Amino acid sequence: MDVTATGVTSTCEPSRRQLFYFDTNPASARRIHFVSNQRRVLRQSKSRKMLHKKDYCIEDMRCNARSTSGWRRDLSAKYNDPRNGRSANLLETLSVDLKHLTDSQFAELEPYLTSNGWSSAVSLVCRQVGFKHADTLDAFVARLVSTLQSQAVAA
C-alpha cells in the first residue's frame, strides 16, 4: 500500500487501481471522494458514503491478506514449516471471505478505519492467521476489533 499526499492508493490489483481520500476542507469534510481510473465521482448520501468506506475497508484487508499469504508461502519454502503453508492457505480463503463482510461486522470496524493504527493492526492480525485462532472471518474481525481497541486505549 502506498501513502501519497492525497491519500491511500491500493496497489494490490494494478488493473483496478483506486484512490480513496477524505477531504480536509471544512466545507466539504463530510464528502468522500473516490477516484477510479479516469473518472471522479462525488458521493454525498450517507448510505453511499458507508458503501465506499466499506469497499475501502474490504479492499485494504483483502490486500493485506493476499500480501501476507505470499510472505507466508515464502517462509514455508525457506524454512519447510507446514504451519506457514497452512496459514497461507487460510489467508487466501480469508481474502475471498472478506468480500462477504456483513454490515454489522463493518459497523464494528468503521470507528477505527481512519485511525493511525488501522494499517498496523490489519497487518498484525493477518500475520496471526493460522497461529492465534483468527482462522475464520468472524474470528478475524473479532481479533482486529480487539487489537484496534487496545491500540486506542494505549494511545
The pTM assigned to this predicted structure is: 0.67
Is residue 51 included in any domain, yes or no?
Answer: yes
Containing structural domain, residue 122:
46-154
CB atoms closer than 10 angstroms to residue 62: 21
Residue 134: what pLDDT? 84
Number of domains in the chain: 1
Cβ neighbors of 106 (< 8 A, separation 6 or more) are 50, 53, 54, 57
pLDDT tens for the chain, 155 residues long, are 444 444 444 445 443 444 444 444 444 444 344 333 333 333 344 455 556 889 999 999 999 999 999 999 999 999 988 999 999 999 999 999 999 999 999 999 999 998 899 999 999 999 999 998 888 999 999 999 999 999 888 76
Residue 146: what pLDDT? 95
Is residue 28 included in any domain, yes or no?
Answer: no
Residue 20: what pLDDT? 45
Report the candidate in 87, 93, 100, 97 with the shortest Cα–Cα distance to residue 129: 87
Is residue 98 included in any domain, yes or no?
Answer: yes
Residue 129: what pLDDT? 95
